[in-house]
Amino acid sequence: MVIDVLRATTTISWALKNGADSIQVFADLDLLKESATKWHADERLMLGERGGKKINGFDLGNSPLSVTKTVVKGKRLFMSTTNGTKSLQKVQHAKYLFAMGLPNRKAVAEKIISLQKDNVLILGSGWEGSYSLEDSLAAGALASYLETNCDFKVNIMNDELQAALALWSLWKNDILKCLKTATHGKRLTSLGDYEEDFKCCSELDCLDIVPTQVERGVIRAS
Ligand code: MLT
């Protein structure tokens, strides 16, 4: 399970909701371009950011608001972001791999419950190797949902997730404020008007999409 609340996994979830065929994730931009050029030109989009800003020459940045039906329907999105797609690549060997933001927290949690697995690994993408408040918040939101809705006992296996649960109980009634308080929230605010992105990324349980890796690096809706 990979989380990047601001904004990669939120954008992935919305793109799939809006009918994107699939999303192929890359850490490396040259590899991305090479793969994209092999794809049918009118069925592909290159999407990504570095440091929060759209990559030059790409079709889209990394805003969940940009992946509308008109833009993404039926397309393969070739995507690279500063942290989120790197995290997805890092754990691409996992048997089951999902991407989660706050909008699809419940959908992903229900999927996890239905799989009845012993262990769930939650990877918050953070920022260039450092902790991030918003990913921890979402990890807490997921753990909290599982604790409440599983018909078996959920063991929280490390202090990071205990702290994430505490964070969730502190901020769950003001998610938007938490996102804006986070370092990356402040970074986005310093880059321009991201109010609608913040609103979209902080909306809880409004999407029924489970972004699922179907082959290494390729994510589809389930
Ligand atoms: C990331 O992958 O680090 C983020 O999605 C950055 C962003 O807000 O675009």
Tens-digit pLDDT string for the chain (222 aa): 999 999 999 999 999 999 999 999 999 999 999 999 999 999 999 999 998 899 999 999 999 999 999 999 999 999 999 999 999 999 999 999 999 999 999 999 999 999 999 999 999 999 999 999 999 999 999 999 999 999 989 999 999 999 999 999 999 999 999 999 999 999 999 999 999 999 999 999 999 999 999 999 999 999
pLDDT at 83: 96
- Give residue 102 CA to ligand 1 midpoint distance, Å: 15
Of all protein residues, the one whose alpha carbon is nearest to atom 9 of ligand 1 is: 52
Position in ligand 1 atom list of the atom nearest CA 187: 8
The answer to whether residues 67 and 20 touch, using CB atoms and an 8 Å cutoff, is: yes
Would you say the CB of residue 86 lies under 6 angstroms from ligand 1? no
**Dihedrals φ, ψ of 78, to 5°?**
-100, 115
User: Bridge partners of 219?
Assistant: 23, 213
Of all protein residues, the one whose alpha carbon is nearest to atom 6 of ligand 1 is: 52
Would you say the CB of residue 82 lies under 6 angstroms from ligand 1? yes
The second-level CATH assignment, the architecture, of 2-221 is Alpha-Beta Complex (3.90)
Q: How many residues does the chain have?
A: 222
Would you say the CB of residue 66 lies under 6 angstroms from ligand 1? no
pLDDT at 87: 97
pLDDT at 82: 96
- Give residue 4 CA to ligand 1 midpoint distance, Å: 7
HEC string of 100-161?
Answer: ECCCCHHHHHHHHHHHCCCCCCCEECCECCECCHHHHHHHHHHHHHHHHHCCCCCCCCCHHH
Q: From CA 217, how far away is CA 54, in angstroms rounded?
A: 21
- Give residue 65 CA to ligand 1 midpoint distance, Å: 14
151: region left, alpha or beta (phi > 0 left; psi from -120 to 50 alpha): alpha
pLDDT at 5: 98
198: region left, alpha or beta (phi > 0 left; psi from -120 to 50 alpha): alpha
User: Bridge partners of 53?
Assistant: 50
pLDDT at 32: 98
What is the best residue among 25, 67, 81, 190 to mutate for testing ligand 1's pocket, by most ligand atoms within 8 Å of CB? 81
For residue 178, what are its two tokens? Answer: 């938490």
pLDDT at 20: 98
Position in ligand 1 atom list of the atom nearest CA 51: 6
